Amino acid sequence: MNLKSLLARPFAGYINKQIARSRENAVADQERILKELLAVLRNTEFGKEHHAADIAQIQEFRQAVPIRDYEALKPYIQRIKDGKHNVLWKGRPIYFAKTSGTTSGTKYIPITKDSIPNHINTARNALLSYMSETGNYAFAGGKMIFLSGSPVLERVGDVPTGRLSGIVNHHVPKYLRTNQLPSYETNCIEDWETKLDKIVAETILQNMTLISGIPPWMQMYFDRLIEKSGKPVGELFPNLSVLVQGGVNFEPYKSKLFASVGRPVDTIELFPASEGFFAYQDSQQHEGLLLNTNSGIYFEFVPAAEIFNEHPTRLSLSEVKLGEQYALIINSNAGLWSYNIGDTIRFVSLNPYRIVVTGRTKHFISAFGEHVIGEEVEAAMLQACQRHNASVVEFTVAPYIATGEGKSYHEWFVEFEKHPDNKAAFVQDLDNALRQKNVYYDDLIAGNILQPLQLQQLQPQGFVQYMKSIGKLGGQNKVPRLSNDRKLADGLMTFVQ
């Protein structure tokens, strides 16, 4: 065990004690953070416009500050771009995290001096929690790869601006810099396929112990390694012991990633976004991600069915229940107030507060009143694949609304890694699995309003080619699991086998 691995042991123990205290004091920490946020809010332009000086309690805050999305926040972002101070938070942001919005075009999310530790320290805490629980400190001495966006920053309104993963790259602790791959020069390459070839060249002969990234792009990296070497990834990297992943549900990608490695490895799941680092896997033994209740963010929870209501129910942490679907609302020291991040979650534990991410508030199918969410289609696909010994590279689902004769249906676009022997039986079992998960969908099928789902099989690399065709290949870009319209589905038709 080298020096870094040895030093990691006491540091992991120290941080793990802090995390344990946060788990025990989650509600009290949330109440304290709310008071701290409100004290700053009173001296901002946003706060003065919303009469923050008169706000003392959470109910007063909710009456004064309605839930908003990025579109409603844009005028304040523009003021920051125009050079104004103390708009959403004290001073000016130190960065804008640039991200693609589904309805708002490019979004510029502020990151402040006070909020940057949330992004950096939470990633650190996830790794140290893993070390403390498993006793695996050895990986700290090997090479680690972070498949991320370019760290090159532009200036927008004189604020350094770039992808979140690129911004975070500038804050990797010095003690990890010598472990980090790929090189800065390679990370700056914008074209994903060119960048991937360079990453493979730089890492294929290294002692890789940890690999981090969004699962579909991690898989592309593994595919290139295998293509280049003719060996499983686990043989190339015999000391590889940890995969760190987030951004999408890991389950649909897990079996193929492990097959590419050639053996199971430990995984650490994260829940980061440009707006904040919300949760992370703190245990290999328990389901769910530990909600980040002591890191500058005050959380609210709206029952998912109410999120588009004019006056939805808004709950604090102490009021949530197990098993309910909630839209996640944040108030943060980045200056985001009553902000709907667009994700839905479900609590799987209240002591401590652990969640699973179940989908997107805007990524669902309810063209016929069924409100099918991501968690349901992913569970149905996993069940069908297990029954038919099949596996998929990627899939997405959209409604097909019949305008002439025939009935409407859900259309699934699937790229198989391992095909089912009997496709018709697979489709039937997939449809039945979704009917079991969603009673409204079941009623529509049973009532002969919808016909059973139809499956379109994409050609090999179909999703990669589609993402390339729209300029969103690699980095932090993801294929939406669900759409309530035909835009994505129509684009994929070119790549149907």
**53 lies in a domain?**
no
Kindly state the DSSP code that residue 317 receives in the 8-state scheme: G
Q: Which CATH number goes with the domain that contains 412?
A: 3.30.300
Number of Cβ within a 10 Å radius of residue 387: 14
**422 lies in a domain?**
yes
Q: What is the distance between the alpha carbons of residues 79 and 355, in angstroms, rounded to a whole number?
A: 35
CA count, 13 A, side-chain hemisphere, 116? 15
**190 lies in a domain?**
no
**469 lies in a domain?**
yes
Regions of the chain with pLDDT less than 50: 102-103
**233 lies in a domain?**
no
Between strands 180-181 and 143-146, the pairing is: parallel
Task: Return the pLDDT at 6.
Answer: 78
Task: Return the pLDDT at 331.
Answer: 98
**7 lies in a domain?**
no
Boundaries of domain holding 412: 374-495
| Residues ≥6 apart with Cβ < 8 Å to 37 | 298, 331, 332, 333
Task: Return the pLDDT at 102.
Answer: 47
**3 lies in a domain?**
no
**459 lies in a domain?**
yes
Q: What is the distance between the alpha carbons of residues 56 and 452, in angstroms, rounded to a whole number?
A: 53
Q: What is the distance between the alpha carbons of residues 85 and 129, in angstroms, rounded to a whole number?
A: 38
Q: What is the distance between the alpha carbons of residues 170 and 120, in angstroms, rounded to a whole number?
A: 10
Task: Return phi, psi of residue 214, to 5°.
Answer: -70, 130
CA 178 and chain centroid, separation: 27
- pTM summary value: 0.81
Task: Return the pLDDT at 237.
Answer: 97
Task: Return the pLDDT at 1.
Answer: 56
| Residues ≥6 apart with Cβ < 8 Å to 287 | 348, 349, 354, 356
Total count of domains within the chain: 1
